[in-house]
């Protein structure tokens, strides 16, 4: 066993700026901010006056689109999402059937949802009214105006949205809070998300998707239902978002 207290090793002495501080200064967010600024200031000093270097980025920005829709459907299904492929005239019927199958009674409908998709929600309401004989449909469209609280979002059965981009290689759907998508909370709190993706929104890979997206918008990247395997690799769904994702691909 070596004896004596170990002193600072050559080259590892604390910087002059840090010497003399009370040890308590090295804890907490303020200390982290000071350390970060110290490191950045040293980097700036080291590169001051250095010429700019052009960085070549040879990212792939286009791909063969043959079979991209089939690949997207396959990859989305791999994430345990429910996938439908429908012609434009069939979308409302697919939406109605999906809502009926899950016995959805309150579904959030964001602004800008195409009329033909909203018709699917309305058809489910009418079908439920006829079935129950009550004259009033059980399915109710819920608008996010004024903005629904977290508790109100938690009380609905699901949400129906469009998307900004679908990525075939990763089976990922990206939302950017645009028309027919609503704000991010609408697709994070309800336990069921029905998403309609047009074929023209599907790209082969991530570079093509990034090229289509506006980086200043709030982007939500969705790869299947919310799931985590952080604890002992046991998959648990619905922890951080919808437990069920259903996707309608419109040809």
- Say how far apart CA 154 and CA 109 lie, in whole Å: 15
Burial of 73 (0-12, 13-18, 19+ CB in 10 A): buried
Pick from 59-63, 120-124, 172-176 the range whose average pLDDT is largest: 172-176
What tens digit of pLDDT does each residue of 32-49 get?
889 999 999 999 999 999
pLDDT for the residue numbered 76: 96
Q: What is the pLDDT of residues 182-210, one digit of tens each?
A: 999 999 999 999 999 999 999 999 999 99
Q: Using the predicted structure, report yes or no on whether residue 15 has a pLDDT greater than 70.
A: no
Percent of the chain residues past pLDDT 70, beyond the cut: 82
Question: What sections of the chain are H helices per DSSP?
Answer: 28-47, 68-78, 91-101, 115-132, 150-155, 206-212
State the pairing for strand pair 220-222/192-198.
unpaired
pLDDT at residue 128, as a whole number: 66
Distance separating alpha carbons of residues 196 and 162, to the nearest angstrom: 5
Beta carbons of 243 and 226 less than 8 angstroms apart: yes
Report the pLDDT value the prediction gives residue 3, as an integer from 0 to 100: 41
Give the pair of three-digit tokens for residue 130.
């006829």
* Entry pTM: 0.73
Helix (H) or strand (E) holding 247: strand 244-250
Q: What angle in degrees, to the nearest 10, is found between the helix axes of 91-101 and 115-132?
A: 40
CA–CA–CA angle 227, 83, 106 (5° rounding): 75
Q: Give the residue-averaged pLDDT of 132-160.
A: 83
Taking only the tens place, the pLDDT of each residue in 48-70 is 999 988 888 777 777 777 799 99
Lowest mean pLDDT, pick from 74-78, 173-177, 223-227: 223-227
Residue 11 in this model has a pLDDT that exceeds 50: no
Q: By the 8 A CB rule, do 163 and 215 touch?
A: no
At residue 214, does pLDDT exceed 90?
A: yes
């Amino acid at each position: 066993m070596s004896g004596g207290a170990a002193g600072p090793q050559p080259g590892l002495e604390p910087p002059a700026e840090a010497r003399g501080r009370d040890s308590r200064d090295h804890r907490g967010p303020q200390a982290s901010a000071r350390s970060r600024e110290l490191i950045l200031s040293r980097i700036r000093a080291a590169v001051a006056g250095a010429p700019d270097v052009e960085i070549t980025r040879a990212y792939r920005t286009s791909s063969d689109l043959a079979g991209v829709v089939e690949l997207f459907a396959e990859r989305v299904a791999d994430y345990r999402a429910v996938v439908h492929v429908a012609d434009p005239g069939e979308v409302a019927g697919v939406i109605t059937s999906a809502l009926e199958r899950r016995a959805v009674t309150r579904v959030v409908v964001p602004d800008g949802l195409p009329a033909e998709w909203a018709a699917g929600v309305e058809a489910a309401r009418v079908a439920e009214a006829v079935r129950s004989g009550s004259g009033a449909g059980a399915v109710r469209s819920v608008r996010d105006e004024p903005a629904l609280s977290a508790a109100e979002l938690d009380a609905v059965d699901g949400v129906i949205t469009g998307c900004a981009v679908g990525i075939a290689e990763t089976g990922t759907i990206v939302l950017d809070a645009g028309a027919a998508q609503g704000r991010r909370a609408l697709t994070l709190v309800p336990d069921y998300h029905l998403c309609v993706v047009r074929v023209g929104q599907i790209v082969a890979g991530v570079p093509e998707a990034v090229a289509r997206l506006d980086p200043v918008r709030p982007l939500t990247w969705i790869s299947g239902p919310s799931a985590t395997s952080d604890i002992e690799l046991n998959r648990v769904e619905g922890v951080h978002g919808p437990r069920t994702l259903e996707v309608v691909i419109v040809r």
